[in-house]
Structure 1
């Protein structure tokens, strides 16, 4: 995980403050190191392989029988369960669809937990990043979604995702916040001073 320094966190907070001076949107940013620990994934793969591989050897070669088959299955499971717990190995075992599903769920939980759905006029906005999953999503409440089509955020998300993949998380955040600010200033301009939610970047482990 790419940890942001205190000065980098301050840069994100300042970027949010700049945007909120020109729009009624309440912008919150969240950076998650990982959306799930995926503890079940290594055990699932180890179980499947331990069941299938020794059985295949028995079927095609006849080398295993009775207690030997059971012993090989247990040994295979134990070895693979340990091997698959290595982070680099685990990450390759998790389908992209599963990673994005978990990140998507966490983004929506954060939107609720941070009370972005309770802002005046429904102008809450979340920029969510899950670094391990290389996942970026922008969620907005009804006060913004009725004025800006969701497709408008797609190119911003794509650019930010590219930055996350290359490890340039801070650059991605600043660029994303500024790009969102341009759209918000046009469609959700400031009508009065407000600051209902914190401007700092929320960092999750």
Structure 2
């Protein structure tokens, strides 16, 4: 299932094109379904619970023989490993710090992969969202960072994060792009017409 429809992606593209007429900045937007599949974490939780819980029950109740204990552990591991792979459950098993660290790493990789570090005047701007982690970040190259303090982006990120949590990803992008555009138009106004990078929203499913 697409994170946004083609029509919604086009709305984001049009918003980028509109604000780039007012600034020398080159803006790229990236939407990821999830920053990582976290394959090993559900398995670790399943193994830990499957190993410990039957043993604890048997210690206090004493109703499991050695063979039954082993079967219970293997069966419990299989069931829990399956359940813990459900995205809604997986997300809750992973510490927030870990989820945000993975999302931040993906954002930085995308900054490089989308060519934002090769723009004229170092004016690349990445607006990055990872839905599963409810993570939003705005990354800028040196040409923007030297003129705009990082604190300028924090209120914009906070609003966008709230909208992502509410499932309002499209509106979050549109609001964020407009807000970022206002900041850029003031600090990095347009000096010449150019469009080095595609305006289309990059979707990582």
How does the TM-score come out when normalised to structure 2? Answer: 0.93
What CA distance in whole angstroms lies between the structure 2 residues aligned with 1:181 and 1:9? Answer: 18
Partner of 1:202: 202
Residue 38 of structure 2 aligns to a residue whose secondary structure is coil
Kindly indicate whether the alpha-carbon contact (under 8 Å) linking 1:54 and 1:73 is maintained by their aligned counterparts in 2.
yes
Q: Secondary structure at the match of 1:30?
A: strand
Question: In the aligned structure 2, how far is the partner of 1:50 from the partner of 1:177?
Answer: 47
How far apart, CA to CA, are the structure 2 residues paired with 1:108 and 1:99?
A: 15
**Counterpart-to-counterpart distance in 1, 2:3 and 2:78:** 34
CA distance in 1, matches of 2:79, 2:11: 46
Counterpart in the other structure of 1:90: 90
- TM-score calculated relative to the size of structure 1: 0.93
Aligned partner of residue 127 in structure 2, secondary structure: strand
Q: Deviations over 1:138-183 (max 9, x none)?
A: 0000111111111110000011111111111111111111111111
Q: Deviations over 1:1-28 (max 9, x none)?
A: 7732222222111111111111111100
Moved more, 76-85 or 110-119: 76-85
Which residue matches 2:73?
Answer: 73
Q: In 2, distance between residues paired with 1:203 and 1:144?
A: 24
- C-alpha separation between the residues in 1 aligned to 2:201 and 2:195? 15
The alpha carbon displacement at 1:30 in A equals 0.6
When the two chains are superposed, the root-mean-square deviation of aligned CA atoms in Å is 1.6
What per-residue deviation string (whole Å, max 9, x for no partner) do you get for residues 70-126 of structure 1? 222212211211222233322322222222121111111100101111111111000
Mapping of residues 43-122 of structure 1, within 5 Å: 43-122=43-122
Distance 2:2 2:136 in 1: 15
Do the aligned residues in 2 keep the contact of 1:2 with 1:167 (CA within 8 Å)?
no
Of the structure 1 ranges 112-121 and 72-81, higher mean CA displacement relative to structure 2 is found in: 72-81
5+ residue gaps, structure 2? none
